[in-house]
Amino acid sequence: MAEINIQIINEEKTHTVVINGQLDESTVDEFAEKVYALIETIESNSKVIFDLEGLTYLNSKSLGYTTDFYNKIIAKESKLILAKPQANVKDEFNLIGLDQIIPFTQTLNEAKQM
Amino acid sequence: MTNNIIPTLLALLPAILWGSYFLIRRDDNFKTYFLVFILACSTIGITLGYQLAYQSLISNYQNFDLIRPIKLYILEYSSFLWTAITITWFASSEEVIKFFITYILDKKNPELIITLQDSLKFGLLAGLAFSFGENVIYFLRSGSFQELGTRSIITMCGHMVWSSFIAYFYGLSKFSKDINIFKKFTGEKVTAKSISKFRKNKIITGILLSSVIHTIYNLMFQINLKNNLNTLISIFIIFFGFIALNIIMDQKYGKLKFIITDKYKGRLDQKIIDTMYEYMGYNYMKKKYEIVFQTASRLLKREPDNNVAKIFQAKSYDKIQSQTK
């Protein structure tokens, strides 16, 4: 069973979700629940940053959730940014074409300045 | 000699026309097709050979005629039943013999069949060659131009359709590993046992399907139904088969090229590839074919020889096309 550690850091209108571990069938719903709860609370013109440095793998359901998060965040006139993904994780996002709609950054600072 | 050349040329003409219709307009692999056709001409010899050999055997050694007592027993009940049994036997044996051309060629040169269409075309050529040989023999026997004309249009088309159906199912069996991965990720239960079963079932289905259709077609000439219904049924069988063959040949799925070696190693991690199959499978089941097509296309840019991605791409493309029609 995979382990996941999710930490949410709220700084005014910037909300950073730090993800460590793997997102698979056993952890993805817990993760999604936390992110949906966060999206409920954000104001317009906010930024939701996923810090992916510690994420080693995500399954297809997580990819589907990410698309849904993006749609919900956009509906709230806010931004979703994916920061510091590992190469294999970036590959997955690229393959489903999410890199064409969601911005990726190499550092957290870059993400915060977007 | 001249007496044989004229019927041969006359029978060759429709074979060339049918072959051109199905093969030349689609690609230019003429040399291979020509060789398959020549090789497949031997099937008429094999079919006649075993019939003549049996006739010769039983005329010299009557004790070997094991069929006669069975025949007499059945004839006591129904002559039609005996006719149906012999027609079934001849139709099925013809189909199996024609199929062996595709099978032997594939076993000798697996790289010749890398698409479902290749397999289908080999079957089609085997049917064409067999029918060509049959037409020559019928014409030599009867000298009837009318019979030659009818056989060239209807029976020849029938032979192509029946033998290409077997060959298509053989192609499905050949590429069963990749097809079953696709099935697994689109919600079907797949196990190692079921893959082996799938492989055998496809070959059996192909043989049964073509034998049954061929038998029904031949039977229609042995019975008299009201308002020439039997003729209508036989024409319908050929027409339906012809349409089905055209549809299969125009499908992207049938054209996709499979890599037939296990030596190939992809560049992406298998875990990522499996995640992509899962993602595409989920969207395929949700009928989001555009997403599947685009994801498969991106995956193929990274892994150009991935057969499963090719199936996802082709299947979703065909679905998108059928939705827009």
Residues of chain B with C-beta less than 8 angstroms from the C-beta of A61: 282
3-state secondary structure of A96: coil
* Range of the structural domain that residue A39 is part of: 4-113
**Using an 8 Å Cβ cutoff, are B213 and B237 in contact?**
yes
pLDDT tens by residue, B266-287: 678 888 999 999 999 999 999 9
| Token duo for residue B299 | 């995956």
What was the pLDDT predicted at B28?
A: 59
A61, A64, A91: residue with CB nearest B272: A91
Rg (CA), chain B: 23
Q: How far apart are CA B134 and CA B45, in angstroms?
A: 9
Report whether pLDDT(B263) > 60. no
pLDDT in tens, B133-156: 988 888 888 888 888 888 888 888
> What pLDDT is attached to residue B193?
77
In this complex, which of A60, A94, A97 lies closest to B275 when CB atoms are compared? A60
pTM: 0.72
From chain A residues 43-72, the ones with a CB under 8 A of any chain B CB are 57-61, 63-64
The DSSP bridge pattern shows strands A14-23 and A4-11 to be: antiparallel
A106: DSSP letter: S
Q: Does residue B242 surpass a pLDDT of 90?
A: no
Number of domains forming the structure of chain A:
1
The complex's ipTM?
0.87
Smallest CA–CA separation between B298 and chain A, in Å? 6
Q: Does A91 touch chain B (CB under 8 A)?
A: yes
What average pLDDT does the segment B122-141 reach?
Answer: 89
Cβ atoms of B233 and B240 closer than 8 Å: no
Name which residue leads in pLDDT, B223 or A1. B223
Spell out which chain B residues touch chain A, with contact meaning CB-CB distance below 8 angstroms. Answer: 268-269, 271-272, 275-276, 278-279, 282, 291, 294-295, 298-299, 302
Contact B298 A94 (CB under 8 A): yes
Q: What pLDDT is recorded for position A54?
A: 93
Chain A residue with minimum CA distance to B273: A92
Structure-token pair, residue B310: 């090719």
Predicted pLDDT at B312: 93
Average pLDDT value for chain B: 85
Question: Which pLDDT value is given to residue B231?
Answer: 85
- Chain A residues in contact with B269 (beta carbon < 8 A): 88, 91
A79: domain CATH number?
A: 3.30.750.24
Write the pLDDT tens digit of every residue in B172-188.
Answer: 898 888 888 899 999 88
Q: Do B276 and A95 touch (CB under 8 A)?
A: yes
Give the closest of A88, A94, A96 to B279, CB-based: A96
CB pairs under 8 A between A and B: 39
Q: What is the distance between the alpha carbons of residues B259 and B114, in angstroms, rounded to a whole number?
A: 7
